Amino acid sequence: MSAHRQKVLLKIIILGDSGVGKTSLMYQYVNRNFSEHYKATIGADFLTKEVMIEDKLVTMQIWDTAGQERFMSLGVAFYRGADACVLVYDVTSEKSFKQLDSWKEEFTIQACPNDPDDFPFVVIGNKVDKASERKVDIDRARNFCKSKYVQPIDHFETSARLGLHVEEAFQSVARLALKSAQQQDDDFMPDLNVTLPPPSANKGRSGCC
């Protein structure tokens, strides 16, 4: 498919511990609503949203995953083809923050991106509306995103409940995913500069080889 395509489908995977707000973030971004009564995701589910990025109509297919450890390995087919991965933690949960490395490693193993060091990840610290319960300082999270990986990772703090910074976070995800998808298209463009053998090399031959 041409790198100059005007309509693009991007697959986005959201990973993180159970209860960090992955489903709430997805619904807040796609449907602009919040509910206190989302059921725990079983396996995986997805929503789609169309946005304009760089004059292209982009369909974001956002996959929400269960955060329980027994669903951590959802299979290669689920992860393969992802254009970006969102790692979510709860700013009121130290454990969910410490688990980010494990979720990133799980994704990298299962998805096998062509260039793991350059694959687009975005880190989201959710539930900033619960300021009095905060356990993970923003500077600590930013340092984590800068120091843990070869390329610094974009970091956002959000409140799915209030809709705070959710749009900005997913816009960043979309831009990074589009850039990744275009790069992959360029990598797989065939070499059209084929050198044909001189006519003498085919003398006396006919038909297909």
Q: Domain segments of the chain: what residues?
A: 7-202
Residue 178 has what pLDDT?
94
Residue 185 has what pLDDT?
62
Cβ pair 96, 130 in contact under 8 A:
no
Other residues' Cβ atoms within 10 Å of the Cβ of residue 201: 8
Residue 35 has what pLDDT?
78
| DSSP character string of 86-130 | EEEEETT-HHHHHTHHHHHHHHHHHH--S-GGGS-EEEEEE-TT-
- pLDDT band of 176, cuts 50, 70, 90: very high
Residue 207 has what pLDDT?
43
Cβ pair 63, 30 in contact under 8 A:
no
The Cα–Cα gap between 103 and 85 comes to 10
φ, ψ of residue 89 in degrees (nearest 5)? -130, 165
| DSSP character string of 172-206 | HHHHHHHHHHHHHHHHT-----PPPPPGGGGTT--
Element (H, E) at 29: helix 22-31
In the predicted model, what is the mean pLDDT of residues 74-99?
Answer: 90
Better-predicted residue by pLDDT, 143 or 206? 143
Residue 6 has what pLDDT?
65
Q: Is the pLDDT of residue 186 over 90?
A: no
DSSP 8-state code for residue 132: G
56-65/84-90 β-pairing: unpaired
This prediction has a pTM of 0.81
Q: Is the pLDDT of residue 204 over 70?
A: no
Q: pLDDT tens-digit profile of 29-84?
A: 999 998 776 655 545 678 999 999 988 899 999 998 765 554 555 567 778 899 99
- Topology adopted by domain 7-202: Rossmann fold (3.40.50)
Q: pLDDT tens-digit profile of 116-167?
A: 888 999 999 999 999 999 999 999 999 999 886 677 899 999 999 999 999 9
Residue 50 vs residues 123, 137, 198: alpha-carbon distances, Å? 22, 33, 51
